[in-house]
A and B are shown apart, each in its own frame.
Chain A
Amino acid sequence: MSDNMNLPSFPKEKFRFAQRTERLHDVKLETKPIGYFKDAWLRFRKNGSAVVAAVLILILLLFAILVPFISPYTVTFRDGYYKTVLPKNPLLAGSGFWDGAKVQRETQAGYDYFNSIGVESGRTVVKSVRDRTVDPNGIVYYSIDVDSYAKVGYIYVSLSADEYRALLDYQDETGIQIVYPLQESYRTNYVMGNMGANFWYKLADPRSTSTGQAALDENGNYVPNYMLSANPDQAGYNSLKLAGDTGGEDGNSWYVYAVKNQSGYKLRVDYMEYFKFKNGFEPVFLFGTNIYGQDIFTCLAAGARLSFLLAFAISFINFIIGAAYGAIEGYYGGTTDIIMERISDVLYSVPFIVVATLFQMHLSERAGVLGSLLFAFVMTGWVGMAARVRMQFYRFKRQEYVLAARTLGASDLRIITKHIFPNAIGTIITGSVLAIPGVIFSESMLSYLNIINLETTHLTSIGTMLANGQGYLNTFPHIILFPSLFISVLEISFNLFGNGLRDAFNPSLRGADE
């Protein structure tokens, strides 16, 4: 104070205004403000496993959405001949991996059978002979790599006159041999069933009915057993003929390609080419087919779509109900809270499977299987969400800013929605995401146990696919492999993603169990 007193006095004229025209402001912040979500995003980005999980989820989602557009098959598609064929990736043909082939152990008769299909059609059926052993009884065993697509070979078809004509026209146009000569045995019917269509060669034992070693000529070639006729154009067949079909030595022994019967024409066709003729695309099943001949790739996408839709819908509905219920419980507290808590306690204590079953029994006829499943999930699913929101409300409702808002005259609704609820949003989002894998798991479990049956002609679910494949686990593990791989990756990704979200929204909870 005393220093001030001793200051030399400045005359008034020496003071000047620095400026009088501009208005002064604080310097504007150079950096962008970081909001709640931005903050969470910055943290989330650093969590490697969660980002990978998010990308995986995106891929699985795209898989579920896009496959119906790119796959030539539908869930309704069933092919009785190509059932349980193995997964085949056209890019890996002949690599010995994912190429639709499988090692089989066969006797001489079996080897002759598979080999003959390849010899007749010029397609490789036996890709390689891995091993040839002779057991003490003198029986020869082959270990051969058999193409599961090509081994279907030939089938008998009955066509109407129009279809027959169309097939022959297609054959003439493309120059691809589809129709192959009928065998002598066709008339006598000594081989029964469809697979008999593959026995185009003479057997060593003429009395044998369906299987047995082939009778080979001196050069080691198969001896054809085709039906012969003096008429080269039997049943009006005037299309492509096999190379060896030259009328025989007498010029009167032409192969018979078709026979006319009451309903139309009976032919023997190469199934792979016939499939192309019928469907317009090549038979390639990326994930193989199941026991009904459905494409697993397409079915899986359909099942995944169903699971995703169900899970997202349920998660959203539970979010709405749970948030409202929890907000009321937490905000009002007291008797309201106690009563509401009892109700949710009771609902929470009912085992989910009971709820699902009862809803199924009561509602499936009126609301459909899917509808009643949705109701069942909603019935008990929101309780967890409500508990979370309630906890957040208890945490925040006594804080000073809420009191301030109330003092300023804000209504209850405004305080709940504008002041407290935004604090709970992180927990709620995390909870909603973490509920999704649970729903998908429960849905697949219920359909696996056949408590709900989601399978219709154009709908399927992952659980149903697994249940259908379980009996073939030993022989055709691929039926189970792809759905279970899919659901495992899905569950792991959602859990990692959810944990990442939780850590990002609420760093203080890092590593804790939700």
Chain B
Amino acid sequence: MGKYVIKRILLMFLTLFIIMTMCFILIKLLPLPAIREMGRDVNLILAKREQMGYNKPLLVQYFLFLKNIILYWDWGVGEQMYEALPVWDVLMMKLPYTVIVNLYSILIAIPLGLMFGIYAALRKNRWQDHAVSTLVVVFISVPSYVYALLVQYLFCYKLGWFPLTVESLENAAFFSGRMFRSMMPAIMSLGFGVVAGLTRYTRAELSEVLTSEFMLLARTKGLTKAQAISRHALRNAMVVILPMIIGEFIGILGGSLIIEKIFAIPGVGNLYVGSISVRDYNFFMALTVFYTFIGLASGIVIDISYGFIDPRIRMGAKK
């Protein structure tokens, strides 16, 4: 198992390195953003760029970039936005917003998703199951921004329950009820998709387990239906469901670009979209690596967690 984990992690870093290299080269091939003349000393900026090594050969630049990251964890400074602030610091400043909104949303969504999924599986092929399954298809298919706009229109404008955008830190402490209330529309919009996905998954897994022979055996040896389901069916279904939930927890770092934009959450997603629109390459590069890393890491954690949860799979991985 240990060997397998190490192999996977090494492979992940190799993939990350390749992607990072490709992105770095593609970004550096682009012309540097034009210097906005107003109130700036052009020569100073040119000198700064020279000092940062922007005029050196590509590979030398890449070497410097890697060296700065490995030795000083220095991802450069903002050039077009958050000027002269270290990219990493800004990212760490934005991260809590993204994490907290997504964390709230999955903490609410996961129990709901499990509940609906279990309910639908137990009522399989009855109207309750059909109703849940239909809703699941609808909620999985409808794009998240459509819910977000709907939530904003209904709950923020028409009913006036929540403020339009997330409160700033000056008005409300980070973990206060007021902050939570202002995040509520975003939490809801993010949650729909998670609930629907988890419901579908749970229903599929559980209904498969329910038809297996050991369930029949459990009932035959005298367990009540509730006992058999909670002790045997759910546990076996969880082997597949739990890794998915773990994946969701890692995914909260990434968040959703579009929801952050709609509700003006000052999180990582907004930073990323901002860096693209103003062409701040340092931010773009760092955030690209960040997002790629999250994607790769969640894949690995999901795979490995299968092994930890179910020893049978662990045996399989060794081969």
* Those of B113-152 within 8 Å (CB) of chain A: 134, 137-138, 140-143, 145-146, 149-150, 152
Binding site for B on A (CB under 8 A): 49, 345-346, 349-351, 353-354, 357-358, 361-362, 437, 441, 444-445, 448-451, 466, 470, 473-474, 477, 480, 484, 487-488, 491-492, 494-496, 499, 511-513
Asked whether B204 lies within 8 Å of A487 as measured between CB atoms, the reply is no
Q: B273's contact among A49, A351, A444, A449, by CB below 8 Å, is which?
A: A449
CA distance A358 to B285 in the complex (A): 11
CA distance A512 to B296 in the complex (A): 25
> Can you name 20 extra interface pairs (CB under 8 A) apart from A445-B257, A445-B258, A473-B149?
A49-B134, A345-B15, A346-B19, A349-B295, A350-B292, A353-B257, A357-B284, A358-B26, A441-B143, A444-B145, A448-B145, A449-B257, A449-B261, A470-B149, A473-B152, A473-B157, A480-B149, A492-B137, A513-B201, A513-B204
Asked whether B15 lies within 8 Å of A349 as measured between CB atoms, the reply is yes
Q: Smallest CB–CB gap between B155 and chain A, Å?
A: 12
Q: B153's contact among A448, A450, A477, by CB below 8 Å, is which?
A: A477
Q: Smallest CB–CB gap between A477 and chain B, Å?
A: 6
Q: Smallest CB–CB gap between A181 and chain B, Å?
A: 42
Sample (28) of A-B pairs whose CB atoms are under 8 Å apart = A346-B15, A349-B296, A349-B299, A350-B23, A351-B288, A358-B23, A358-B26, A358-B27, A362-B26, A362-B30, A444-B143, A445-B145, A448-B145, A448-B261, A449-B258, A451-B273, A451-B277, A466-B149, A473-B149, A473-B152, A474-B157, A477-B153, A488-B141, A488-B142, A491-B141, A496-B141, A512-B204, A513-B200
Minimal Cβ-Cβ distance residue in B for A490 = B141
What 1/0 mask marks residues of chain B from 1 to 36 whose CB sits below 8 Å from any chain A CB?
000000000000001101100110011011000000
Asked whether B138 lies within 8 Å of A492 as measured between CB atoms, the reply is yes
Asked whether B146 lies within 8 Å of A511 as measured between CB atoms, the reply is no
Minimal Cβ-Cβ distance residue in A for B133 = A511
CA distance A474 to B149 in the complex (A): 10
Minimal Cβ-Cβ distance residue in B for A485 = B146
Asked whether A491 lies within 8 Å of B258 as measured between CB atoms, the reply is no
Interface of B is mostly: helix
Asked whether B153 lies within 8 Å of A357 as measured between CB atoms, the reply is no
Asked whether A492 lies within 8 Å of B157 as measured between CB atoms, the reply is no
What residues of A have a CB within 8 angstroms of the CB of B142 in the complex? 488, 491-492
Total CB contacts across the A-B interface at under 8 A: 100
* Those of B140-189 within 8 Å (CB) of chain A: 140-143, 145-146, 149-150, 152-153, 157
Minimal Cβ-Cβ distance residue in A for B152 = A473
**B246 at the binding interface (Cβ < 8 Å):** no
Binding site for A on B (CB under 8 A): 15-16, 18-19, 22-23, 26-27, 29-30, 134, 137-138, 140-143, 145-146, 149-150, 152-153, 157, 200-201, 204, 257-258, 261-262, 272-273, 276-277, 279, 284, 288, 291-292, 295-296, 299
What residues of B have a CB within 8 angstroms of the CB of A474 in the complex? 153, 157
What residues of B have a CB within 8 angstroms of the CB of A484 in the complex? 143, 145-146, 149-150
Most A CB within 10 A of own CB, among B23, B141, B153, B257:
B141
What residues of B have a CB within 8 angstroms of the CB of A358 in the complex? 23, 26-27
Minimal Cβ-Cβ distance residue in A for B203 = A511
Q: Smallest CB–CB gap between B130 and chain A, Å?
A: 10
Q: Smallest CB–CB gap between B289 and chain A, Å?
A: 10
What residues of B have a CB within 8 angstroms of the CB of A354 in the complex? 23, 288, 291-292
What residues of B have a CB within 8 angstroms of the CB of A351 in the complex? 288, 291-292, 295
Asked whether B19 lies within 8 Å of A350 as measured between CB atoms, the reply is yes
Q: Smallest CB–CB gap between A131 and chain B, Å?
A: 19
Q: Smallest CB–CB gap between A312 and chain B, Å?
A: 19
Using known A-B contacts A473-B149, A477-B153, determine if residue A511 contacts B141 with beta carbons closer than 8 Å: no
CA distance A470 to B279 in the complex (A): 24
Q: A470's contact among B201, B262, B277, by CB below 8 Å, is which?
A: B262
What residues of A have a CB within 8 angstroms of the CB of B19 in the complex? 346, 349-350
What residues of B have a CB within 8 angstroms of the CB of A361 in the complex? 30, 279
CA distance A513 to B208 in the complex (A): 13
What residues of B have a CB within 8 angstroms of the CB of A494 in the complex? 141
What residues of B have a CB within 8 angstroms of the CB of A513 in the complex? 200-201, 204
What residues of A have a CB within 8 angstroms of the CB of B153 in the complex? 473-474, 477, 480
Q: B18's contact among A346, A445, A473, A488, by CB below 8 Å, is which?
A: A346
